[in-house]
Structure 1
Amino acid sequence: MLFRSALTQLQRRLYSQHASKLTNVTNNEGVKTITMCNPKTGNCLSIPMMQELISNISAEWECKDLRVIVLAAEGKIFSSGHDLKELSEEAGRESQEKVFSVASSLMRSIIECPVPIIAAVNGYAVASGCQLVAQCDLAVCTDISKFSTPGVNVGIFCSTPGVALARSVPKATTLKMLFTGKPIGAEEAVQTGLVSHCCSKEDFDKVLDELCADIVRKSRAVVEMGKRFYYKQIDQDIMTAYKNGGRVMVENLNLADGIEGVNSFVDKRKPKWTHS
């Protein structure tokens, strides 16, 4: 992919050093957890924070051991959205344009990442923080979590968060959030499809671990192929999507893991994935 090839050596060095105070990265049995650790600012999506998230998400894409990414946060706020200082009149138009350019790159890195990305939300996800949740492939939240796009309250309509919301939840919910700025709770977030799982704070880690384990047990090669086609077909008309979907499924059947999967089903045994 073009995005992957465009990664700079600097980004890779930043990832390997893990020196920043904005995020923390851990790896455990195929699960990479990227934790935003700037709770004093509500884990705001400043330009440095977004650049670091891009670097962390984009690292190790070729490693077969990487199977799923969890995007988490310290504190009571998952993310408060963009740093308004970078969007102020004093910051200037160039800074404003850079904020949304980097934000688009962050969302694109989630889409183009070969493995599923799960947002782990325990608290508030606001404005572009809510956009970040909506753009992730899956989301798990605690029952105290809330999601909002309150920009309209301060004269800044949440147009870019609306892009992700419109592709994740029904029109009525999206526009209610955008027009009123009022938050929706965890229960409504599940009902409308913004998040896939909701649980108590006590069960949060267990539910998240089980979801990650379910993905890790699958063939990475098959999941990667499926994720890439899913995002590609969204923008296609239905007949084109079916035509291309049939072609992708044939390609899938001829993957090493596709062949192994069919054979293991016929032989009534567990498949032995090579992730190729």
Structure 2
Amino acid sequence: MRRSFVIVQQRCFSDHILNVERRNFAKYLEMNSPKTLNALSLKMMDNLINEISSLSVDDKCVVIKSSSKHFSAGHDLKELKQNEACSQASAVFTRCKELMTALKLAPVPVIAVIDGVALAGGCQLAASCDMVLASRKASFGLPGIKIGLFCTTPAVPVVRCLPTKLTFEMLCTGEPVCAETAFKHGLVNKIADGSEQLHEMCDELVAKIANHSREVIALGKSEFYNQLSKSTLEEAYNSATPVMTQNAELEQCQEGITAFFDKRKPKFSS
């Protein structure tokens, strides 16, 4: 069932660093700090966490993008200067961990849309999303080593998307990889030729997700990442089997099965 593209809500935070828009059953979070290349300051991370943690029942997807050319250049180095004391660095990296965890715990798919650079914490943000769409202008890097700061925490999700040796090369050289390389190795889902096609691609993906049951996707996403954490195939199946049984007994699934035999489109209530 195709959903119409209707703008439900638009707003900007008073500091203008994050714009929020709801349309087509999706919540769009647009980072809007071009002068800092959308640095993941404490304020930016707080805003992102608050929005991801306050989804409505009508939000079937979250899209994180940029209002300007670049996605994010990572942490705000002003917050990591020594005169801010060690506690500030701890607060920054702890908050960052909370943001990346919130993305995985969100009950709906989170999509990153990247048309420029995604560096350090920005690359971490992209890799922590469930799906990544990028234009051919996009690049992904872990350049912290260039200022004497190894990208230890950004590497956590990146190495779970890219091969170990490629990730370690990025960490040790600080050199980025292009969108094609990121796509080839699994960090990027799809590549667009330009900005316009990139946003059309995003809207199409959101529309496809919005056609399906939010309840079922929430259950499936949670177990998808849970079974991935298991150390053996048997443990993964032991975790996934009761969840799929639970899913089969849901009203949404029974409606889908009935619709299949009735040769009609299912009408999901949620």
Question: Which residue is equivalent to 1:244?
Answer: 239
1:220 to 206, 214, 217: 214
2:43 is equivalent to residue 51 of structure 1: no
**What secondary structure does 1:35 align onto?**
strand
State how far apart, in whole Å, the 1-side matches of 2:239 and 2:143 are. 39
Residue 17 (structure 1) shift: 7.9
Q: Mark the runs of 5 or more structure 1 residues left unpaired by the alignment.
A: 1-14
**What secondary structure does 1:33 align onto?**
strand
**What secondary structure does 2:207 align onto?**
helix
Alignment of 1:154-165 (within 5 A): 154-165=147-158
TM-score (norm 2): 0.93
Question: Which residue is equivalent to 2:229?
Answer: 235
**What secondary structure does 1:19 align onto?**
coil
**What secondary structure does 1:120 align onto?**
strand
**What secondary structure does 2:183 align onto?**
helix
2:220 counterpart letter in structure 1: G
Question: Which residue is equivalent to 1:120?
Answer: 113
Cα shift readout 1:180-220 (whole Å, capped 9, x = no counterpart): 11110010111111110110223111111111111011111
Question: Which residue is equivalent to 2:176?
Answer: 183
State how far apart, in whole Å, the 1-side matches of 2:12 and 2:121 are. 27
Contact 1:152 1:179 in 2 (8 A): yes
State how far apart, in whole Å, the 2-side matches of 1:151 and 1:19 are. 31
Question: Which residue is equivalent to 2:205?
Answer: 211
Question: Which residue is equivalent to 1:257?
Answer: 252
1:107 counterpart letter in structure 2: M
Q: Mark the runs of 5 or more structure 2 residues left unpaired by the alignment.
A: 1-9
TM-score (norm 1): 0.91
**What secondary structure does 1:110 align onto?**
helix
Of 130-139 and 17-26, deviating more is: 17-26
Deviating runs (4+, > 6 A) in structure 1?
Answer: none
1:153 counterpart letter in structure 2: K
Of 234-243 and 113-122, deviating more is: 234-243
Pairs aligned (count): 259
1:38 to 33, 36, 41: 33
2:20 is equivalent to residue 25 of structure 1: yes
